[in-house]
Amino acid sequence: MNLPGAPFLAYRGESLYLEDCALDALAERFGTPLYVYSQAAMLAALAPYQRALAGRDHLICYAMKANSNLAVLQTFARAGCGFDIVSGGELARVLAVGVSADRVVFSGVGKTREEMRLALQAGVKCFNVESEAELEVLSAMAVQEGRTARISLRVNPDVDAGTHPYISTGLKANKFGVAHERAVALYRRAAGLPGLEVVGIDCHIGSQITDVAPYLDALDRVLDLVEAIEAEGIRLHHLDLGGGLGITYTDEAPPTADVLISALLQRLDARGHGHRMVMFEPGRSLVGNAGVLLTEVLYLKPGEEKNFCIVDAAMNDLMRPAMYEATMGIVPTRLHNASPVTYDVVGPVCESGDWLGRDRALAVQPGARLAILSAGAYGMTMASNYNTRGRAAEVLVIGDQAHLVREREQPAELFRNERLLP
């Protein structure tokens, strides 16, 4: 059976392993629901980015919104990555791992004044600014703090990435970035504001992209702007080309990272911009197929129209199916010879939208465990405490060693900051 995440995720006999750890044994040891990540799979996903960029002035900034566990950040920091953050909380996580802030770019459409202050004090490498109003506020905050904010403008190239509308970010109708037509004027404005230093240009068109063509279209539009901006006497040191490369959940066939990067670098060279520093912000493509969510079957509930496999993981643990109608692989942690039955895999949360997989052929009994595949990205980072459910534990495996990198939340932790009336 060829599983997303192979060769690090594979059956050995009847048991499903991630690296050299049997997942059923990890579920027994740490309980369920349980997120499990492979460090080797993360580093293997990073390697083609690094190979393609070897010899270039570059920085790979891991988009930590995909998975912000400290051990995951530590893994990428040790591998030489910078980080793409979108909140003050993410900045605090990066600094907690010991990463220098000059390897951090701060993205996001709604940076608060307090977040700007913290990032200025830390000395982040660049603010990716997304509106004229943000430019004005950042300038004022920089002057107030006696600092210089290095900035790029995130330009919206109006390119269709061909992905789910909720994760498309490069169209005119999206909230992200500044309009392509306004970019030159806004760069003029930025160059004249106190406390700001223009250093680059930024573009990100979406997530789970499975084709090179939208990237090349966006790059051409960005390079047109670079040439127009520099004609105004404003020098741009770097090009931040974002992230968004897709992974295989079921039958998707995205290009490999080195194929994508090579195509972009060839276009840069052909247009005379090969001398510039380039930055990329991969997230999902580095961690998505490196993780699984383990869950235990609680009940099997036959019905006239549907059979339900009720498990102990729910939409609060994994939001992607309910939010995006995402299809993710679901397989048993131990194979059985019994005949499979078609089930909807659902959780205990009191919502009809609480489903993890529809129409899945599974040979399971209560007490068996399932692995929800490709759950390393936008799983734990989107988890909530709905129904006062504690968030899952997280484990990172390195070879045959399993490291508990986040403990399971307990009920008292969920309301410790609440107060009873006098």
Return d(Cα 87, Cα 106) in angstroms, integer. 8
Angle between helices 88-96 and 113-122 (to 10 degrees): 30
Nearest partner of 189 among 221, 143, 224, 234, judged by Cα: 234
282 assigned to a ligand binding site: yes
Cite the DSSP H helix spans in 246-359: 257-270, 284-287, 320-324
One DSSP character per residue, 55-77 reads TS-EEEEEEGGG---HHHHHHHH
Catalytic residue among 21, 81, 309, 350: 350
Going from the C-alpha of 41 to that of each of 72, 170, 293, 328, the distances in angstroms are 11, 29, 15, 18
272 assigned to a ligand binding site: no
281 assigned to a ligand binding site: yes
283 assigned to a ligand binding site: yes
Going from the C-alpha of 71 to that of each of 17, 64, 393, the distances in angstroms are 20, 12, 13
Going from the C-alpha of 101 to that of each of 119, 124, 277, 383, the distances in angstroms are 8, 5, 18, 27
CB 312 within 8 A of CB 298: yes
350 assigned to active site? yes
28 assigned to a ligand binding site: no
324 assigned to a ligand binding site: yes
Nearest partner of 93 among 121, 73, 66, judged by Cα: 73
Return d(Cα 29, Cα 137) in angstroms, integer. 50
Q: Which residues sit in the known binding site?
A: 244, 281-284, 320, 324, 351, 378
Q: Which residues sit in the known binding site for pyridoxal 5'-phosphate?
A: 244, 281-284, 378
Q: Which residues are catalytic?
A: 350
